[in-house]
Amino acid sequence: MNSYTFSVLFIVFLGITVSLQFWLSSRQLRHVSQHRAAVPAEFSEKIGLDAHQKAADYTIAKTKFGLLALFFSVLVLLAFTLFGGLQLLAVTLYKWLGDGMVYQLGLIAAFALISGAVDLPFDLYRQFVLEEKFGFNKMTLKLFFSDMIKGSLIGAAIGLPLVWVVITLMDKSGDLWWLYAWLVWSGFQLLMMLIFPTWIAPMFNKFTPLADDSLRARIESLMSRVGFASSGLFVMDGSKRSAHGNAYFSGFGKTKRIVFFDTLIARLAPQEVEAVLAHELGHFKLKHIVKRMVVMFAVSLGFLALLGYLKQQVWFFTGLGVDPILFASSNNAMALILFMLTLPVFTFVLSPLTSISSRKHEFEADAFAVKHTNANDLVSALVKLYEDNASTLTPDPVHSAFYDSHPPASIRIAHLHQQAKLA
Ligand SMILES: [Zn+2]
């Protein structure tokens, strides 16, 4: 491979990925508009025309905004790579900081800051125009910026030492650096799972023990029926930022916490909360979470091995607009940046694969919930959540196969009714 061939390959894949995304979005826009006039028959008794049309308008607005963001992100990607942005940034910092670790960490930090600044107008628009217009935004500008500053500081406090370790391994530990880096990365992921719920999440949200005694009793009975031990049931003040509702649980081993968004508790009846939780517990009991982690570790090992090869190829740098000869022995941070920046261009076509396995898990967790609670409760909870989140009931099937981790509403609910009959 030479530098020119790799540039061409990059442009070809970028062209494929962008056209594919553009095509998927236009399919989605067409499909949702075509079904806007009437509520699908199977939902006509549960969802009003107003709510259905709000969901269509919200989906259309998000998809159109996504197209604009896509167009812009391609420009930014090209500006960083082929048009020489990263090269210019690196030369500037290298002159200033010289060869070595300080330059490499500086390059990563500068790249992260610039990317964040470039994304900022889009994030602001998404939150304060788009979400606001449909009544989902509950954030103030002050909260938005305090989140941003807090997030950046925590990101730097955790991220820079991690990057320092990885770059040191790349610099000094020989040809198998990627294997050591993988061990460090995997350990880091596990550590984050351990400290995130108890140390980091509380810096952004308030977690209060679930106060409703009858709901608590109901949930505890469900947990003992399915054999699940948790270190606590918490309600999170999600309504501080958004009207979207959710339930999740986090941590592992003895630190597993079940967390409900306050918006979810306020909206669902107790038996519906129970059904939603049974679905989440299904993911745990059926080992979906462990399986997902194993896949994630295997994939990151593969990618790190690939990076181990790429970082030794001059064409990998020159083909993306960077001349590695200029930076003596300090090219590893640049290799990391180029890799993370361009990887999605080459992997987007594979996204249906993750959707397929994720949907399989969703169906299994639904079946688990039906077995331990009531299918009708889960259906009515899902319908409320679709309505409250203005999720479209009529997504384009191909768009959905690329982007949605969950099956489309009608298919999922049809499955649930079928499960209920079998049970
Ligand atoms: Zn699920």
Cα(155) to centroid(ligand 1), Å: 28
Cα(136) to centroid(ligand 1), Å: 22
Cite the active site residues. Answer: 280, 366
Tell me, what's the pLDDT at 423?
A: 67
CB atoms under 10 Å from CB of 248, counted, come to: 14
Question: Amino acid letter at 104?
Answer: Q
Cα–Cα dist 304/179, whole Å: 8
DSSP 8-state class, residue 243: S
Among candidate residues 215, 238, 228, 268, the one with its CA nearest the CA of residue 388: 268
Those residues whose beta carbon sits under 5 angstroms from the ion ligand 1 are 362, 365
Instruction: Tell me the pLDDT band of 253, cut-offs 50, 70 and 90.
Output: low
Cα(298) to centroid(ligand 1), Å: 22
Cα(283) to centroid(ligand 1), Å: 7
Q: Which residues pair with 236 in a beta bridge?
A: 207, 261
Cα(32) to centroid(ligand 1), Å: 24
Cα(276) to centroid(ligand 1), Å: 9
177 CB-contact burial (10 Å; exposed 0-12 / middle 13-18 / buried 19+): buried
CB atoms under 10 Å from CB of 399, counted, come to: 23
Cα(351) to centroid(ligand 1), Å: 18
Tell me, what's the pLDDT at 244?
A: 80
Cα(285) to centroid(ligand 1), Å: 12
What's the number of CA atoms in the CB half-sphere (13 Å) around residue 396? 19
Instruction: Tell me the pLDDT band of 255, cut-offs 50, 70 and 90.
Output: low
Cα–Cα dist 190/169, whole Å: 20
Cα(149) to centroid(ligand 1), Å: 31
Report pTM.
0.90
Tell me, what's the pLDDT at 247?
A: 73
Residues 76-97, mean pLDDT to the nearest whole number: 96
Residue with tokens 């420009």: 75
CB atoms under 10 Å from CB of 19, counted, come to: 10
Distances (CA, A) of 250 to 276, 284, 368: 15, 10, 19
Residues 229-254, mean pLDDT to the nearest whole number: 80
Instruction: Tell me the pLDDT band of 197, cut-offs 50, 70 and 90.
Output: confident
Instruction: Tell me the pLDDT band of 283, cut-offs 50, 70 and 90.
Output: very high
